[in-house]
Structure 1
Amino acid sequence: MAENAYYTLLTSLPHIDSLFNSRITPISRFQLDKRLSMLSTADQQRLVKIESLLHWDQLDDEVEEKALIHQAERTRAELDSQALNDLIDWRLDMRTIVAALRRKHAGQPAPTEPKWSYGSRYEYIRNHWGSATLGLGSAFPWIPKVVECLRNGECIALEKILLQAVWDHLSHMAMKHSHDFEAVVIYVLRWNLVARWTAYDTEKARVRFRSLVETSLGEFRDQLPTGPEA
């Protein structure tokens, strides 16, 4: 798809002002999908795969880990954009880190499977399980805040920290992409964050938080022993 076609699409989309100050999405999903139909068939297919992989609910701890790893590897192999592959890696590394922090908070030991999660950090995390920040506090500065929220049971604050971290990462990425396919992906993922926040239900968040801190990484919940940290 030509760059001017991406420009036409992107300029037709309403600006997404902010994340937490939004009360509704700037455009309905129905209208957004109508605008996205301007993309070529190939781009539409790529966007669907990326959005399906990185959708917030798709990255829940309850997602079957092996299926997620397979989906991520397949999606990356089909993309010709290093920037988007890097985005996938970063977002899934984030998921792995948060899941590991929840495991630690629950007093569970490090997973023992050779490849227990997708990403480039799972072996490093296993080797730094004794560190409060998994040895990644500098690379991911939001980790100490997540640890504090877990310790204090602050479910809403935790969700906001994670949403903000993704928002900031997309904003940084947007500085290098304004009129290309990557910019379209950034817009859609930002839209999803706003949709997530504006649909947020406080009581459901509390229930979800309690469930998350009691669970492990998908199927590995039943494979690993419980008890004091090793």
Structure 2
Amino acid sequence: MLVSSLPQLPTRFDAGRLPISWPALRDRLRMLEPRDSEVTRQVGLYFLWDRQPLDRTDDEVIDRYQELMRHTTNHLVRHLVRSRTEMRLIISCVRCRAAGAEPPKWIDRIADRAGTLGHMRKHWLDPNFNLGVHHRWVEAFRKQLDAGDMREAQRVVFNERWSDWSRIAERQTFSFEAIIAYLVRWEIIDRWTSQNAKAGKVRFNKLIEETLGEYANPIQ
């Protein structure tokens, strides 16, 4: 099976180099059935979009999120899109509050009273939005942001993503979902080890475009 042919990933995203290159991983993915291959294509498209410049407005992020959720049925891909979008918007809120701003207007488009963003709006005056144990990473991220250490702030974000998908991977064994969990963790490592952000982005986009061909164009 494809899963058993993939080399084991390190226990931490910052532990070293990737055990398999993208061209080699791409070749392994060609073993998938067409239906599963389409899902991995969706994951690749999302990665490509997620690596675009961060000057995209929060409203644009929400628009893309809602579009993806309308057209994505795989539950793990939906979790990927939902969790990364929420994290991106949480970080935006942390930055807004650090700048002394009021809750952004876009928060009403996506927040519900029971959700994290709705909770943050309600507890806007609290430095950590009274998130408690459910989002411990927010306090750690804020402290690094206040200290001006963006590398460590980024590490906090990546560590949270890694922990989430490591837990998911533990629940998957030889199913197709295990492939998705592998791809997501592979991308986290690749993103972290791309020390030069500009060169890393160009390299990653080139690799994705080699795989997706014409399908990469709509993400530009």
Give the TM-score band, short-chain normalised: 0.7 to 0.9
Q: Answer yes or no: is the 8 Å Cα contact 2:123–2:130 preserved in 1.
A: yes
Residue 19 of structure 1 aligns to which amino acid in structure 2?
A: F
Describe the superposition over 1:64-120 as per-residue Cα deviations: whole angstroms up to 9, x where unpaired. Answer: 444433433343344444344334322222111111111111222211236455894
Describe the superposition over 1:34-70 as per-residue Cα deviations: whole angstroms up to 9, x where unpaired. Answer: 1111112222222222343356843764234444334
Counterpart CA distance in 2 for 1:98 and 1:117 is: 15
Asked if 1:123 is matched to 2:123, the reply is no
1:91 corresponds, among 84, 90, 94, to 84
Secondary structure of 1:138 counterpart:
helix
CA 1:192–1:86 in structure 2 vs 1: closer, same or farther (change >3 Å)? closer
Q: Answer yes or no: is the 8 Å Cα contact 2:4–2:174 preserved in 1.
A: no
Question: What is the deviation of 1:169?
Answer: 0.5
1:26 corresponds, among 15, 19, 27, to 19
Unaligned runs of 5+ in 1: 1-7, 205-230
Asked if 1:164 is matched to 2:154, the reply is no
Q: Answer yes or no: is the 8 Å Cα contact 1:65–1:117 preserved in 2.
A: no
Residue matched to 1:154: 149
Asked if 1:136 is matched to 2:128, the reply is no
Secondary structure of 1:141 counterpart:
helix
Counterpart CA distance in 1 for 2:162 and 2:44 is: 15
1:9 corresponds, among 2, 23, 28, to 2
Residue matched to 1:106: 99
Unaligned runs of 5+ in 2: 200-220
Q: Answer yes or no: is the 8 Å Cα contact 2:107–2:117 preserved in 1.
A: no
The structure whose residues are more often helix, as a share, is 2
Describe the superposition over 1:12-35 as per-residue Cα deviations: whole angstroms up to 9, x where unpaired. Answer: 11111132121x221111111111
Counterpart CA distance in 1 for 2:197 and 2:35 is: 39
Residue matched to 2:195: 200
Residue matched to 1:68: 61
Describe the superposition over 1:182-216 as per-residue Cα deviations: whole angstroms up to 9, x where unpaired. Answer: 21111111111111121124999xxxxxxxxxxxx
CA 1:148–1:203 in structure 2 vs 1: closer, same or farther (change >3 Å)? farther
Counterpart CA distance in 2 for 1:63 and 1:109 is: 20
1:173 corresponds, among 168, 173, 177, to 168
CA 1:91–1:121 in structure 2 vs 1: closer, same or farther (change >3 Å)? same
Counterpart CA distance in 1 for 2:51 and 2:198 is: 21
Identity of aligned residues (%): 23
CA 1:26–1:196 in structure 2 vs 1: closer, same or farther (change >3 Å)? same
CA 1:48–1:21 in structure 2 vs 1: closer, same or farther (change >3 Å)? same
TM-score, normalising length: structure 1: 0.74
What RMSD in Å do the two structures reach over aligned CA positions? 2.8
